[in-house]
Chain A
Amino acid sequence: MLLKDCIVYAGDKLNTFDEFSGSGSDMTVLKFAINSSNNISSRYKGKMVYPDWNHVDVIQPGDIWICSMEMNPKDGGNYFAVPMMRIDASFLYGLNKSQLSELSLDIWNRNREILEPVMEEIFGSTVEEMIESAVSERTKDLEEENSKLKERLESAIESPRSDKIDDGSEKVTAVMSTPKTIVIKDDVVRIDDNTLESGLLVHPKYRVHMTANHDVIVFRPDINGRVTCMNNRVSLNGLGTLIPFTGECEFGYNTIGDKGEFKVFLV
């Protein structure tokens, strides 16, 4: 970890980095030890460093501190260090997510050759297992979906198309001669508080208007519309507040003209 980074981290933690850097004195990270005279000291730029007399924190041998350095004003033969912040486990635990991310990236970059084989040994098998389980789960879902679609397609093919139109309860748009076509129901279904789904919702943007008595919603395809449609679904802001959601339900609808406009009856 670079000294600059350390100071930045400390500054972030204390919200005093500006204050530190604006003081005009040097900032550095020092490890303190007991010298031959039995005093706590360290070294900086080839000169001895002694803790400043006025500092209040107790420095123990072996401690690492971010310090503000001031040269001895008398002869410049040594430095005095004002300890700002101790770098220890609590410092590391107090780092936020982005700081931890930067720190771990820095450690990884500096020690990649050592860490890489260790990480591979620990996580190699785990990653493979995770990929395998995710793939199998997704495959299972797709198989289920596929079987459902097949069932729906078969039932649609078996029953005469005219019946579907006549009863009016469930209209299905599908190309009957091509089994690969996905069947999409035109019914307007409310899925949750704010979301409606329908095979009629095929345009990217809609202009949507509701009546003040909340009985009817009109959808009109419009590239400048305020409602975005994705995967045959739209989410209308406040629908759940205006009309409380009581469970998944289907709404009647009427198509208007041949430009994709339709009216949904909410009551």
Chain B
Amino acid sequence: MSIISDSSRDRVMIFIDLRNINNSSKTDSTYSRLDYIKMVKTFRESRILKRAYVFDGIDTIENSNPSNDFHNLLRYHGFTVDVIDSYDPITDRQKGVDVNLVCKVMRHAFNDDFDTAIIVSGDGDFVPLVEEIKQMGKKVEVAAFEGSCNRKMKLAADRFHCMDSLPLLEMESVPEEGIDSPIQSMATTEVF
């Protein structure tokens, strides 16, 4: 329990490192899928949500990117999806997504757009960012799965949301015989 007081008038911004959270999710994606809307609602609580960012990278070398549909779905539900072409053909990895997230958090902090930043990532690279935001008089919360969250990150944050114990994985009925219907998308009609 944090000694930092929260107010329902607090302005909250959520910054989700999509790849980090998806990779660290323990769930078997055949049966359930992380419900991002529910996640945002849970973290927001009764506070004012100013914006929910989703950061991801794409590979523009590939002709078809399966992430595009998911990004569009998130946009439809009100998320601000920030995607950069970050594919590095030499290392065969994505780079620059973290830096993009840091830039956005810092910019909004300087502009005094939020009272509380919620960073949904367990990546230890964000520890300096958390410290910096706190020094600017802002509150910082971190949300991640327990097993994949950097210990320093948990300690640095004003509050840590352990995603393992939150009901965020949406399930579906057993598909009818002969119909193969694993959860393919975040199907929801809710808006926040």
Contact = CB atoms under 8 A, between A and B. Distances in A.
B36 interface: no
A227 interface: yes
A204 to B, nearest CB: 12
Interface string B24-37: 01111011100100
Name the prevailing secondary structure of the B interface residues.
Answer: loop
Contacts of B35: 209
Contact-size category for B: 20 to 34
Contacts of A234: 173
B173 A226 contact: yes
Interface string A203-231: 00001111111011110000010111000
Contacts of B189: 224
Given A237-B31, A238-B28, A242-B31, A211 B169 contact: yes
A238 B173 contact: no
A138 to B, nearest CB: 25
Which among A194, A226, A228, A236 has the greatest number of chain B C-beta atoms within 10 A? Answer: A226
B164 A212 contact: yes
B170 A208 contact: yes
A107 to B, nearest CB: 32
Nearest to B175: A237
A230 to B, nearest CB: 10
B31 A212 contact: no
19 contacts: A207-B170, A209-B170, A210-B32, A211-B166, A211-B169, A213-B164, A215-B165, A224-B189, A226-B171, A226-B183, A227-B171, A227-B173, A235-B173, A237-B171, A237-B175, A237-B182, A238-B28, A238-B30, A238-B32
Interface of A: 194, 207-213, 215-218, 224, 226-228, 234-239, 241-242, 263
Given A210-B171, A212-B169, 9 more contacts: A208-B172, A209-B167, A210-B32, A211-B166, A211-B169, A212-B165, A224-B189, A227-B173, A241-B31
